[in-house]
Chain A
Amino acid sequence: MRQKRLVFLLLLVWMMVGMLAQVAAQQKGLVIVNKSVPVDSLSQSELQKIFTGKIQNWENNLKVKPVLLDPKSDLGKRFFDKVLEMSAREYNRIWLKTIFSGSSPRPLEMSTPEQVMEYVAQKDGGIGIIPAELAESELLENCKVLKIPADMKF
């Protein structure tokens, strides 16, 4: 009887660990673009270049209009850690150099995912990130969700 209980407990723990791992592996953020943007997927390197001003135009020459979610939010932090692979402070130093050399103005920063969705939906060339649970939002009517590499889930 005690052995059965032990096996049951071990199974329970194993299942819980498995579930937790699955939740952790699930994508929590989405990359969205305005429907005018002529791409369906982006690599990590392309996202890094877009958000650091190295890519300023889409393939159809539409201006890239990136918008950042507040870097202090959970999703904003994960985007910096896993996608941009830099701290918000390093990002800030890079942009100060880019703006003031006359190269390009820095991306806007929004405090809520709703603001990001509204901006991306309204602006041709817009690109931003939102939490995955908002994938069905009505605000995304004029947007599309991009495919990103499996190892870049944030």
Chain B
Amino acid sequence: MERKMPFILFLLTSLFCAAGLVHAQIGDRVLINGYSSFEFEKQFGDEGEGDPRGSFDVDLFDIVLNVYATNRLRVAADLTWEHGTATEDGRGNAAVEYAFGEYTVSEMLKIRSGKMFTHFGIYNEIHTAKPAFLTVKEPLSTNKNQKFGSEFRFYPRWLGGIAVLGGTQVGTMDMDYILQVSNGDQENTNPFEEDDNKHKAFGGRARLYPTRRTEIGVSFYSDKFTEFDSTGEDVGKRTSLFSAGGHFIWRVGPLGLEGEYVAGQIRPSFADNITRWAMTGMIFYSIQDIVVPYFRLEHLNPNTKVAGDNATMFVYGFNIQVDSGLFVKLELNTVTSDEFNNQFSGNNYTEFKGAIAIGF
């Protein structure tokens, strides 16, 4: 009975949370939305990189603000509180996921400035918004590869800079695009986020919608990092990073497929180039848009020149829309890895993950 207690508590909380959810509006110009995700994880067995003890995780609670200063000017912000029940004592964190101003010149041209997500592939802009996707976590292989055996991410989570974006029609198809220029990621930062080199990071994504339920997209990200010596001095050389990817989402009736492929290269001046690639593929079937069983396969090759460093994950589970904006997710994650994978070192394991995700 004791072993079942966390599961029972988790289910009871799900039911308790099944209350009506509303978003708030102040006048016509200020809209308040938000989301949260409460999770439970328990690894089967003691070997592996999961959580063998079984833990509750107050993963996040976010408030999303949209303020229409004028008809053309929108200010948007996502304020987050992540993990830890005592942020005041230095546990967990409170932060800003994005905060930007967006000026609409036309449907085809909007200009955005501020802190924003890197627009790459399917998941990065929604990786914290758990009610916005089926699984408990975003794919690690393509979106969080530093937790899957890579030394560096394919692209940073966030950018501080300027973006142009918009949408239009190409023939009978809709398309949208975004181009972002930013300081990029840097090892040594400062309170003003002053760039530590002259190079700016460039990124972009274009998506085409051949049908209303089909999406095809391509993305890229390019940056150069400053190389420092042991005393922290800029040695005047740069490490370059380039990543490119393609993705698709396809739905026919209740059946859905999505896939993403990302490949890239890191070129340090002091060592060999690292070429890596990753993929995810998911199939799901929506039963009345209430219960959605899914299966996802993830794979990462962190360095194509190194043998035996790959990692693979199988994710199978259910997403249940209990009420408008209230989702219960139950899934199993099975990780298999090679001996020289940085993250898992060949320790294969299976973990249960459950989540209550709320969007309002």
Contact = CB atoms under 8 A, between A and B. Distances in A.
A54 B208 CA distance: 12
A5 interface: no
Contacts of A93: 132, 289, 321
A77 to B, nearest CB: 14
Contacts, number: 85
Contacts of A108: 25
Interface string B111-144: 0000011000000011011011100000000000
Given A99-B64, A102-B78, A105-B66, A55 B132 contact: no
A149 B290 CA distance: 31
Contacts of B107: 55-57, 61
Interface residues of A, number: 30
B64 A87 contact: no
B71 A87 contact: no
A124 B167 CA distance: 22
Interface stretch (B28-36, B40-48, B220-228, B229-237): B28-36
Interface in A23-70: 45, 48-49, 54-57, 61-63, 65
A151 interface: no
B288 A105 contact: no
B10 interface: no
A101 B332 CA distance: 26
Given A54-B167, A96-B132, A101-B132, A87 B288 contact: yes
Contacts of A61: 71-72, 104, 106-107
B159 to A, nearest CB: 12
B116 A99 contact: no
Contacts of A139: none
A88 B131 CA distance: 15
B164 to A, nearest CB: 15
B126 A100 contact: yes
Contact of B129 (A48, A57, A62, A100): A100
Interface in A120-149: 123-125
Contacts of B78: 100, 102
Contacts of B125: 100-102
B340 interface: no
A124 B29 CA distance: 13
B238 to A, nearest CB: 31
A106 B25 CA distance: 11
A56 B71 CA distance: 11
A73 interface: no
Point out which of B28, B129, B132 has the most chain A C-beta atoms below 10 A from its C-beta: B132
B212 interface: yes
B177 to A, nearest CB: 13
Contacts of B174: 49, 54
A63 B71 contact: yes
B76 interface: yes
Interface in B334-360: 359
Interface string B18-34: 00000101001001010
A106 B106 CA distance: 20
Contacts of B106: 57, 61
B15 to A, nearest CB: 19
A24 B303 CA distance: 64
Interface string A67-96: 000000000000000000001111011001
B98 interface: yes
A96 B100 contact: no
B68 interface: yes
A57 B289 contact: no
A55 B166 CA distance: 10
A61 B105 CA distance: 8
Nearest to A97: B132
Nearest to B65: A105
Nearest to A88: B324
Contacts of B167: 54
A96 B131 contact: yes
Contacts of B76: 102
Contacts of A65: 28
Contacts of B212: 45, 48
Contacts of A56: 104, 107
17 contacts: A48-B212, A55-B107, A57-B106, A61-B72, A61-B107, A63-B68, A63-B71, A65-B28, A89-B321, A90-B289, A97-B126, A99-B359, A102-B78, A102-B116, A105-B31, A105-B33, A106-B23
Given A56-B104, A102-B116, 5 more contacts: A89-B324, A96-B35, A97-B126, A100-B64, A100-B359
